[in-house]
Structure 1
Amino acid sequence: MTDTRPAASRDLSDQLRHPVPHLFVYAFAIVPALALFAAVPLAWGRGLSWLDAGMALGLYAISMLGVTVGFHRYFTHGSFKANRALRIALAVAGSLAVQGPVRHWVADHRRHHAYADAEGDPHSPWRYGTSPAALVRGFWHAHMGWIFDRSLTDQRRFTPDLLADPDLDRVHRAFSVITIAGLFGPALVGGLVTGTWWGAFTAFFWAGLVRTAVSHHVAWSTNSICHLVGERPWRSRDRSTNVWLLAIPSMGESWHNLHHADPTSARHGVGRGEIDISAGTIRLFEKLGWATDVKWPTQRRLARITAGR
């Protein structure tokens, strides 16, 4: 649907999401979250099998790395170069996280870096001010409120390289199919392995809904928590922070201050004990010959962004 707002207000978004897919945004944000609330009593009632747990953890790792390594470090920032097979695989894996099609995700994130914690940032927690009430409102906006905005970031401005890639165009357009496969594929496996409808349901519940909800809120915490509280050992022009507690579930994305200080770096956690699973995955791809020209941090790069210099 074409945006009819004045041109002056359409410098960052070029269209409005159609009402039908916009309803699915609400569904994919709310239904998995409700499943997460139901998870504890269901598990207490023995509604979680080893098969469910294995599929949930496996799909969580694949989809989160698809986002962190693929959508974020590769497609958004060009932290390395990937061969065609890896490029397509990362786009599909990232789509399994149900955080939006690849071009929408990348356009929003490039816009975030262009206007980080300033006017134009799609999800800054500082949007409404610095008072306690404003920060509560800002936290909600940064964490998930912003995804309910129908305005879509202008892909022609922020993702011209992705628009020109026919492989990514196919993956982008196949987002709905990939989403259905990621949500209902576990149910098919669970039903076939156990031979019961209950096995199909619990697999759908844990590896489909709960897995999606957890990955959503971990990813959204980078937008909210990692711009509000934490350490800032690196010099950046915004309020990004490092939050160690989220390092493992976010696959290293919560070393967010380093990332904003040096966005193209393939490694975000560079200090002693700063676990960065995404960087380790990129290192594996490099050793296999699937990734090249990796932008690893060097002492010279780090010296330029050390806080206080």
Structure 2
Amino acid sequence: MYVTVTALIVIAPFVGLGLAVPLLWGSVVGPTDLVLAAVFYVVTGLGVTVGFHRGLTHGSYTAVPALRIALAVAGSLSFQGDVIDWVATHRRHHAFTDRPGDPHSPYRYGTSLRGQLRGLVHSHIGWLFGNDPTSPEHFAPDLLADPGIRAVSRAFPALCVLTLALPFALGWAIGGTWVAGLTALLWAGFLRIALLHHVAWSVNSLCHVIGERPFRTRRHDRATNLWPLALLSFGESWHNLHHADPTCARHGVDRGQLDPSAAVIRLFERLGWVRDVRWPDPARVAARRIETRRIETERA
């Protein structure tokens, strides 16, 4: 059953998009639309993963003020909520992971099959429609005290308009017609936002139910690694290590685990734009690895 759910949630929408492109090529989609969609997906997605998540939420590095604000703006263009509310909600998720108080736990309705399926819907999208606000004063007082971040937060409605207006304007400017602007708006605006939302929500839902758990987390915490989402989520789906060591700047620590967000942070570090990066510590990673602890126990 879980394999079926994974296929429906993760694979089916991407297969649908893949089939739509050749069928609509030359009429509703063209190379400009796909290039713009890819560029906006990468910029806004990294704004969330590198900026909102690893930087502002967990303090995995310290960025120069201009980059800190630029990443907050890029993340806001993802249409996932204003920066302060986003950070507060995610910090609350870590404080109460998979137990009462977690705003989007898939275990809200128990561990039976029915409860899990209902919980997946809740954690994927249902929680967005509930009346369960998170207090920024409690979970993000540091951001409320930052004038630059407060300004980005206040600008969120305007940035939502901008994230749609830019693809339309660029499509019109490149294609030369308002129809080209509309197709760019469709693919680089609406569909790009929907895909990025879907991937982020899948980390909230699937990455707490399906996948591997090679690292020890807190007793209630069931975060997992789910490799099919690694590239599209920019490394966020190596979720088990993240919950085992939340401030670590790299989530994919094992061989072959792609983590584009960590690569971008490394680039920023080399350019001198970030400092005090919390890279994986081999001893700390080994101490949290379940297999290592089990072998040591057996030897003792």
TM-score by length of 1: 0.86
In structure 1, the residue matched to 2:24 is 45
In structure 2, the residue matched to 1:55 is 36
CA contact (8 A) 1:39 1:210 kept: no
In structure 2, the residue matched to 1:291 is 274
What is the distance in 2 between the residues matched to 1:111 and 1:256?
16
One-letter amino acid of the counterpart of residue 259, structure 1: H
Written as runs of structure 1 = structure 2, the 5 A alignment for 1:1-309 is 41=20, 44-46=23-25, 47-237=28-218, 238-308=221-291, 309=293
RMSD: 1.6
Structure 1 residue runs of 4 or more that deviate by more than 6 Å after TM superposition: 36-39
CA contact (8 A) 1:77 1:263 kept: yes
- Give 5+ residue unaligned stretches, structure 1: 1-33
What is the CA distance between 1:304 and its match in structure 2?
A: 2.2
- Describe the SS at the equivalent of 1:258: helix
What is the CA distance between 1:41 and its match in structure 2?
A: 4.4
- Describe the SS at the equivalent of 1:169: helix
What is the CA distance between 1:152 and its match in structure 2?
A: 2.1
- Describe the SS at the equivalent of 1:152: coil
CA contact (8 A) 1:104 1:152 kept: no
One-letter amino acid of the counterpart of residue 45, structure 1: L
Q: How many residues align?
A: 275
What is the distance in 2 between the residues matched to 1:39 and 1:212?
17
One-letter amino acid of the counterpart of residue 268, structure 2: F
What is the CA distance between 1:39 and its match in structure 2?
A: 8.6
CA contact (8 A) 2:227 2:237 kept: yes
- Describe the SS at the equivalent of 1:153: coil
One-letter amino acid of the counterpart of residue 208, structure 1: G
CA contact (8 A) 1:80 1:294 kept: yes
Per-residue deviation, residues 220-266 of structure 1 (Å, max 9, x unmatched): 11000100010000000110000111100000000000000000000
In structure 2, the residue matched to 1:25 is none
CA contact (8 A) 2:103 2:132 kept: no
In structure 1, the residue matched to 2:296 is none
- Describe the SS at the equivalent of 2:290: coil
- Give 5+ residue unaligned stretches, structure 2: 1-12, 294-300
What is the distance in 1 between the residues matched to 2:267 and 2:18?
34
What is the distance in 2 between the residues matched to 1:73 and 1:45?
37
Q: Which moved more, 1:299-308 or 1:89-98?
A: 299-308
What is the distance in 2 between the residues matched to 1:263 and 1:229?
20
One-letter amino acid of the counterpart of residue 108, structure 1: T
CA contact (8 A) 2:211 2:226 kept: yes
